[in-house]
Amino acid sequence: MATVQMVEYDEASARVRKVYDEIMATRGIDFVPNVWKTFASHPPTLERVWRELQDVMAPGRLDALTKEMIAIAVSATNGCEYCVWSHTAAARKLGLDDEMLGELMAVAGMFNQTNKLAQGYQIEVDELYRNVAKGPAKA
């Protein structure tokens, strides 16, 4: 269920099926998750978000589990129900256990608290932080 009619595989256009097939193959699943069946109500969104997601989640300097943990922290901060469940499921497949999730949530919870304290007291940025944050000058 969603605020649009989700597009089932059997009724999908060739354009949409192409993305559905790629999603199922890449993820190793035999069904199309609701998020993609919803985005398919607007094919350019289906194609764009799938493509961007592939780019952003591709192996790089951060490993896949770290990226999923960041996704959980962001989704918790935004209170997104669908996203918390789907990213937690994805992280479980990559090895996340209750202790790691506990530390992750503790850090996310703690900094939501200090974020609001800093904003509530309107604390001015220390000059040193500005200098250090930017990193060394480029050669």
State which of positions 59-98 bind its own copies (CB under 8 A): 60-62, 66-67, 69-89, 92-93, 97-98
Cβ(45)–Cβ(39) under 8 Å? yes
Stretch 35-64 residues interacting with its own copies (CB under 8 A): 35, 38-39, 41-42, 44-45, 48-49, 52-53, 55-57, 60-62
CA distance 111 to 6: 37
CA distance 61 to 3: 37
Work out how close the CB of 21 gets to its own copies at its nearest, in angstroms, rounded to a whole number.
Answer: 18
Sign of CA dihedral 118, 121, 127, 128: negative
Cβ(77)–Cβ(107) under 8 Å? no
CA distance 86 to 45: 19
Q: Does 14 sit near its own copies (CB under 8 A)?
A: no
3 state DSSP class of 76 = helix
Stretch 93-132 residues interacting with its own copies (CB under 8 A): 93, 97-126, 128-130, 132
Considering beta carbons, is residue 21 or 117 the nearer one to its own copies?
A: 117
